[in-house]
Amino acid sequence: MTTRPPSRGGSGRKGSGAGAGKRPPGKGPGGKGPFGPKRHFRTAKGPERERQGPRNTALDAAQRAAALRGEADKRAPWRPGDAPEVETDDAWDAPPARAPRAPRPDSDEAPRRARAPRAEAPAAPAEGPTRREQRAAASATLASGVQTLVVEEDEAEMRIDRFLTTRFPQLPFTRVQSIVRKGELRVDGRRAKPNDRLLPGMSVRVPPLKLDAVGERPRSPQRDATDAEFLRSLILYEDAEMMILNKPFGLAVQGGSGTVRHVDGLLEALAGPDGQKPRLVHRLDKDTAGCLIVAKTRLAAATLAKSFRSRAARKVYWALTAGVPRVPQGRISTYLAKEEPTDADARMRIAQHGEEGAAHALTYYAMVDNAAQKVSWLSLKPVTGRTHQLRAHAAHIGHPIVGDPKYFSIENWALPGGIQNRLHLLARRIVIPHPRTGKPVDVTAPLPPHMAQSWNLLGFDAARYDPIVEAPES
């Protein structure tokens, strides 16, 4: 009669005697061995090993490899003296590579050499399309379906909405904001906000866009010449990297609903041979006049935008406000939120800390002069850059800006004779580090015509000392 060895699940696996079922110290989970961590690994030593008998060294290599891989259908029957199997929950850690076997002295076998990895031949540089051709191709496929764009090095730190308007200039800015707000855009697989910043190598997934089949209006050389001449008449400062314009009252910075003429569109007339036009770095309200910075290169745009985010740029505004502040110099610190979050040009309201959509806004102000306790000339220094910040803060302290259609709400208040009912707000001065040299660029804008008229009627001297320079920078 043939005697069968005990099964794997029987007592033969665990053995018997005094040492059965005990884990030798230092050999449990977490111990080290040639095959990595010994998880659930148990070995018999001492008397137990002698009871099991000598290890069966005749088990062939294929069967041992199959046992280590956990292939149950290929395992050899268990025999007394065999070592227990390795059981792990993780993937098996392969043993370290062994050194090549040295030939015996009396053998004619030649020494074996390790085969070096085959080096891949460098790919020949392919002549890709130019940036202008890439933009044209992207525009051509804009409405054809989903596409994925890769952020390039010179697009680093660019806002996601600015990235889309740069890649697709025929797409209205309001449409871009709508796409991002509804979550139709993905950056590295995640939803993006309009003010999110991009890094080189990020992938931007653009959804199919249903646009009306309207051909791009051909640009007229005469119109381009007229627009270029108009923009050059506004330049307050210019070099190879940037320029600062004196934006007039009533000219929008960007396009929107019903807005045809704006600074961003006029900059097309200054595009270079490669099709790249100067880029906006920040924005001003349509009815706010004064200093507007424009970058001539992508690198300059990224550097200047970073200066604004880090608050390295210092700005001074002049305003004509109703009434006279009780405190001639002060600090306004509130939280602002949009009354209608879905409206890009919605009125801002004073909000509470922690409220959804609320952002902190900080402004320093100083009264330069006043006229018969009726109106005041205020100099304002915004530390933060929230939408309508100065207009909302002036109204918050009870002295709204003269001519402000959104925030002026004083009943039975009449304009002094001769003063036009236009927004009296000027981006008077800006100081910002140069994008290449880092040296400060300090530029001052003159009063727009309607404010110059008011200053003359009220007897204000534009050359008077401005006490806002003494206000803190943060």
Over residues 457-467, the pLDDT tens digits come to: 999 999 999 99
pLDDT tens digit sequence for 74-83: 444 444 444 4
Which uninterrupted H or E stretch holds 236?
strand 235-238
Predicted TM-score of the model (pTM): 0.62
Active site residues: 285
Domain 132-206 has CATH 3.30.70.1250: no
Long-range contacts at 276-281 (CB < 8 A, ≥ 24 apart): 276/131, 278/243, 279/162, 279/166, 280/162, 280/253, 280/254, 281/242, 281/305, 281/308
What distance, in Å, lies between the first and last C-alpha atoms of the chain? 96
Q: Could you tell me which of 467, 436, 431, 439 has the C-alpha nearest to residue 236?
A: 431
Fold for the domain defined by 221-295: Pseudouridine synthase (3.30.2350)
Where do the structural domains in the chain lie, given as residue ranges?
27-78, 132-206, 221-295, 300-470
**Over 288-335, what HEC string results?**
CEEEEEEECCHHHHHHHHHHHHCCCCEEEEEEEEECCCCCCEEEEEEE
Q: What is the CATH number of domain 300-470?
A: 3.30.2350.10
Cα–Cα distance, 247 to 249 (Å, whole number): 7
**pLDDT, tens digit only, all 474 positions of the chain:** 555 554 444 444 444 444 444 555 444 444 444 444 444 434 444 444 444 444 544 445 555 555 555 544 444 444 444 444 433 333 334 444 444 555 554 545 444 444 444 444 444 444 455 555 555 555 555 555 788 888 887 777 788 887 887 777 667 777 777 888 787 888 898 888 777 888 888 988 888 765 544 444 566 888 889 999 999 999 999 999 999 999 999 999 987 767 789 999 999 999 887 778 899 999 999 999 999 999 999 889 989 989 998 999 999 999 999 999 999 999 999 999 999 877 767 899 999 999 988 999 999 999 999 999 999 999 999 999 999 999 999 999 999 999 999 999 898 899 888 899 999 999 999 999 999 999 999 999 999 999 999 999 999 999 999 999 888 877
289 token code pair: 């006049």
Contacts of 364 (CB under 8 A, 6+ apart): 329, 330, 331, 332, 380, 381, 383, 468, 471, 472
- As a 3-state breakdown, the chain gives helix, strand, coil percent values, each rounded to 5, of 20, 20, 60
| Enclosing H/E stretch for 370 | strand 359-371
Asked whether the domain spanning 300-470 has the same topology as the one spanning 221-295, the reply is yes
